[in-house]
């Protein structure tokens, strides 16, 4: 019970790092979905997938959905 704040817990640090990475990935995917155009209802579907399944949905979007967005002439 005499633990102090100065003690470092590697396990806690790893969990916090994974949590921050997953939140950052989730936000990146949502912003990317909202900025790009998709065919038909794909934007709504990908948004729901990423929101309802945060980690798995974000990874699925990066590997599958990111290639399906429409490239606009700029």
Query: What is the mean pLDDT for each group of 10 consecutive residues in the chain (74 residues)?
Result: 66 90 95 89 93 93 84 51
pLDDT at 2: 59
Single pTM value for the model: 0.76
Relative orientation angle of helices 54-63 and 10-35, to the nearest 10 degrees = 50
pLDDT for res 5: 61
Confidence at residue 12, expressed as pLDDT on a 0 to 100 scale: 86
Structure confidence at residue 74 (pLDDT): 42
């Amino acid at each position: 019970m005499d633990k102090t704040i100065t003690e470092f817990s590697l396990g806690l640090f790893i969990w916090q790092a994974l949590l921050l990475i997953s939140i950052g990935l989730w936000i990146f995917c949502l912003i990317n979905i909202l900025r790009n155009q998709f065919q038909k209802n794909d934007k709504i579907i990908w948004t729901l997938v990423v929101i309802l399944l945060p980690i798995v949905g974000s990874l699925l979007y990066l590997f599958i959905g990111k290639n399906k967005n429409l490239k606009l002439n700029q």
